[in-house]
Amino acid sequence: MLELNFVCPCYGLERNQSLIFCFIFVPAVIFFILMYIYYVLNLGCSINRKNCCCCKCNWCGWNLCMHCFVPPIVWIILMLLDGRYIACAFTDWSGHYEVADGGGLMRWCKSDHNTDETLRRTEELYTTSQWYGFGGCFVLGLILCTGYCCCYEPRGQNPNHQDPEQQDGERVGEEMRQISPP
Protein backbone atom coordinates (compact mmCIF):
# COMPACT_ATOMS: atom_id res chain seq x y z
CA MET A 1 0.00 0.00 0.00
CA LEU A 2 2.81 2.39 0.76
CA GLU A 3 5.09 3.34 -2.09
CA LEU A 4 7.91 0.82 -2.30
CA ASN A 5 9.97 3.00 -4.63
CA PHE A 6 9.78 6.18 -2.56
CA VAL A 7 12.84 8.35 -3.05
CA CYS A 8 13.69 11.09 -0.61
CA PRO A 9 15.07 14.13 -2.49
CA CYS A 10 17.86 14.64 0.10
CA TYR A 11 17.95 18.38 -0.59
CA GLY A 12 17.83 19.50 3.00
CA LEU A 13 15.26 20.02 5.68
CA GLU A 14 12.83 22.50 4.07
CA ARG A 15 12.32 20.70 0.76
CA ASN A 16 12.18 17.27 2.37
CA GLN A 17 9.57 18.40 4.89
CA SER A 18 7.33 20.00 2.28
CA LEU A 19 7.39 16.81 0.19
CA ILE A 20 6.63 14.57 3.18
CA PHE A 21 3.89 16.94 4.37
CA CYS A 22 2.18 16.44 1.00
CA PHE A 23 2.77 12.66 1.11
CA ILE A 24 1.15 12.36 4.52
CA PHE A 25 -1.58 14.98 4.72
CA VAL A 26 -2.93 15.36 1.17
CA PRO A 27 -4.18 11.73 1.03
CA ALA A 28 -5.49 12.05 4.61
CA VAL A 29 -7.57 15.12 3.67
CA ILE A 30 -8.83 13.35 0.54
CA PHE A 31 -9.84 10.31 2.64
CA PHE A 32 -11.71 12.59 5.04
CA ILE A 33 -13.57 14.39 2.25
CA LEU A 34 -14.51 11.14 0.50
CA MET A 35 -15.76 9.57 3.72
CA TYR A 36 -17.76 12.67 4.60
CA ILE A 37 -19.39 12.74 1.16
CA TYR A 38 -20.11 9.01 1.35
CA TYR A 39 -21.55 9.30 4.85
CA VAL A 40 -23.79 12.25 4.02
CA LEU A 41 -25.00 10.94 0.65
CA ASN A 42 -25.60 7.32 1.62
CA LEU A 43 -26.94 7.77 5.12
CA GLY A 44 -28.47 11.22 4.75
CA CYS A 45 -26.94 12.16 8.06
CA SER A 46 -27.01 15.92 7.58
CA ILE A 47 -30.57 15.84 6.23
CA ASN A 48 -32.15 13.44 8.72
CA ARG A 49 -30.33 13.20 12.03
CA LYS A 50 -32.34 10.13 12.99
CA ASN A 51 -30.49 8.11 10.32
CA CYS A 52 -27.07 8.84 11.73
CA CYS A 53 -27.66 8.56 15.45
CA CYS A 54 -27.64 5.22 17.18
CA CYS A 55 -25.79 6.41 20.21
CA LYS A 56 -27.18 5.91 23.70
CA CYS A 57 -25.28 8.94 24.99
CA ASN A 58 -27.10 11.03 22.36
CA TRP A 59 -23.94 12.32 20.74
CA CYS A 60 -24.67 11.75 17.08
CA GLY A 61 -21.39 13.32 16.05
CA TRP A 62 -19.62 10.17 17.28
CA ASN A 63 -20.75 8.25 14.18
CA LEU A 64 -19.56 11.04 11.92
CA CYS A 65 -16.19 11.11 13.70
CA MET A 66 -15.84 7.34 13.48
CA HIS A 67 -16.66 7.21 9.80
CA CYS A 68 -14.78 10.29 8.64
CA PHE A 69 -11.70 10.53 10.83
CA VAL A 70 -10.64 6.90 11.17
CA PRO A 71 -9.37 6.38 7.57
CA PRO A 72 -7.16 9.52 7.58
CA ILE A 73 -5.80 8.65 11.01
CA VAL A 74 -5.06 5.10 9.90
CA TRP A 75 -3.23 6.51 6.85
CA ILE A 76 -1.08 8.75 9.06
CA ILE A 77 -0.35 5.83 11.41
CA LEU A 78 0.74 3.68 8.45
CA MET A 79 3.08 6.43 7.29
CA LEU A 80 4.56 6.66 10.78
CA LEU A 81 4.96 2.89 11.07
CA ASP A 82 6.87 2.81 7.80
CA GLY A 83 9.52 5.13 9.25
CA ARG A 84 11.21 6.30 6.06
CA TYR A 85 8.89 9.25 5.53
CA ILE A 86 9.66 10.86 8.89
CA ALA A 87 13.34 9.97 8.49
CA CYS A 88 13.31 11.79 5.16
CA ALA A 89 11.41 14.78 6.57
CA PHE A 90 13.97 15.36 9.33
CA THR A 91 17.07 14.76 7.24
CA ASP A 92 18.85 18.11 7.37
CA TRP A 93 21.87 17.19 5.27
CA SER A 94 22.36 16.83 1.54
CA GLY A 95 23.36 13.56 -0.02
CA HIS A 96 22.04 10.76 -2.20
CA TYR A 97 19.27 8.30 -1.33
CA GLU A 98 20.36 4.68 -1.07
CA VAL A 99 19.83 1.44 0.83
CA ALA A 100 21.76 1.37 4.09
CA ASP A 101 24.56 -1.20 4.35
CA GLY A 102 23.30 -4.00 6.59
CA GLY A 103 20.12 -2.02 7.27
CA GLY A 104 17.76 -4.42 5.52
CA LEU A 105 15.23 -2.32 3.67
CA MET A 106 16.18 0.90 5.41
CA ARG A 107 16.92 3.71 2.98
CA TRP A 108 18.60 6.94 3.90
CA CYS A 109 20.23 10.09 2.58
CA LYS A 110 23.89 9.13 2.58
CA SER A 111 26.00 12.14 3.35
CA ASP A 112 29.33 12.78 1.64
CA HIS A 113 31.00 13.11 5.03
CA ASN A 114 30.44 11.73 8.55
CA THR A 115 28.31 8.84 7.32
CA ASP A 116 28.34 6.98 10.64
CA GLU A 117 26.73 9.88 12.49
CA THR A 118 24.12 10.53 9.78
CA LEU A 119 23.27 6.80 9.55
CA ARG A 120 22.82 6.66 13.32
CA ARG A 121 20.57 9.73 13.19
CA THR A 122 18.50 8.15 10.39
CA GLU A 123 18.09 4.94 12.39
CA GLU A 124 16.90 6.99 15.37
CA LEU A 125 14.37 8.77 13.16
CA TYR A 126 13.06 5.43 11.83
CA THR A 127 12.69 4.07 15.35
CA THR A 128 11.06 7.22 16.72
CA SER A 129 8.59 7.31 13.84
CA GLN A 130 7.66 3.68 14.39
CA TRP A 131 7.16 4.23 18.12
CA TYR A 132 4.81 7.11 17.36
CA GLY A 133 2.99 4.85 14.90
CA PHE A 134 2.54 2.12 17.53
CA GLY A 135 1.39 4.73 20.03
CA GLY A 136 -1.09 6.06 17.50
CA CYS A 137 -2.43 2.53 16.95
CA PHE A 138 -2.87 2.06 20.68
CA VAL A 139 -4.60 5.42 21.20
CA LEU A 140 -6.87 4.93 18.19
CA GLY A 141 -7.80 1.45 19.42
CA LEU A 142 -8.60 2.80 22.89
CA ILE A 143 -10.73 5.59 21.49
CA LEU A 144 -12.65 3.27 19.18
CA CYS A 145 -13.21 0.61 21.85
CA THR A 146 -14.24 3.16 24.45
CA GLY A 147 -16.56 4.93 22.05
CA TYR A 148 -18.12 1.71 20.87
CA CYS A 149 -18.60 0.28 24.37
CA CYS A 150 -19.86 3.52 25.90
CA CYS A 151 -21.97 5.05 23.18
CA TYR A 152 -23.00 2.61 20.50
CA GLU A 153 -26.36 0.97 20.91
CA PRO A 154 -28.46 -0.27 17.99
CA ARG A 155 -31.80 1.49 17.64
CA GLY A 156 -34.61 -0.18 19.53
CA GLN A 157 -32.36 -1.98 22.03
CA ASN A 158 -32.86 0.38 24.97
CA PRO A 159 -36.45 0.12 26.27
CA ASN A 160 -36.08 3.38 28.25
CA HIS A 161 -34.88 5.37 25.25
CA GLN A 162 -37.48 6.81 22.90
CA ASP A 163 -37.05 8.82 19.75
CA PRO A 164 -38.07 12.48 20.13
CA GLU A 165 -40.78 11.97 17.48
CA GLN A 166 -42.23 9.05 19.45
CA GLN A 167 -42.19 11.13 22.65
CA ASP A 168 -44.01 13.97 20.86
CA GLY A 169 -46.65 11.53 19.59
CA GLU A 170 -47.27 10.14 23.07
CA ARG A 171 -47.48 13.64 24.54
CA VAL A 172 -50.06 14.69 21.92
CA GLY A 173 -52.05 11.49 22.55
CA GLU A 174 -52.13 12.18 26.30
CA GLU A 175 -53.21 15.78 25.71
CA MET A 176 -56.02 14.53 23.48
CA ARG A 177 -57.22 12.12 26.21
CA GLN A 178 -57.28 14.97 28.73
CA ILE A 179 -59.29 17.19 26.39
CA SER A 180 -61.85 14.62 25.24
CA PRO A 181 -64.91 14.06 27.46
CA PRO A 182 -65.18 10.76 29.36
* Average of per-residue pLDDT values in the chain: 76
Quick one: pLDDT at residue 112? 74
85-99 confidence digits (pLDDT tens): 998 899 887 877 777
What pTM was estimated for this model as a whole?
0.71
- Residues 28/125, Cβ–Cβ less than 8 Å: no
Q: Which bin fits 161, alpha (ψ -120 to 50), beta or left (φ > 0)?
A: beta
Under a CB-based contact definition with an 8 Å cutoff, are residues 10 and 97 in contact?
A: yes
Dihedral angle computed from the Cα positions of residues 137, 138, 140 and 143, in that order, rounded to the nearest 10 degrees? 170
Mean pLDDT value of segment 39-56: 59
Cα–Cα dist 49/134, whole Å: 35
Rg (CA), the chain: 26
**Residue 30 scores a pLDDT above 60:** yes
Max avg pLDDT among 20-29, 47-56, 103-112:
20-29
Q: What is the pLDDT of residue 55?
A: 53
Give the torsion sign (CA, 55, 61, 63, 69): negative
Q: Where are the alpha helices (DSSP H) in the chain?
A: 13-43, 49-52, 61-82, 84-89, 115-151, 164-179
Angle at 87 between CA 81 and CA 91, to 5 degrees: 170
How many other C-beta atoms lie within 10 A of the C-beta of residue 23? Answer: 17
- Rounded to an integer, the average pLDDT of 18-43 is 88
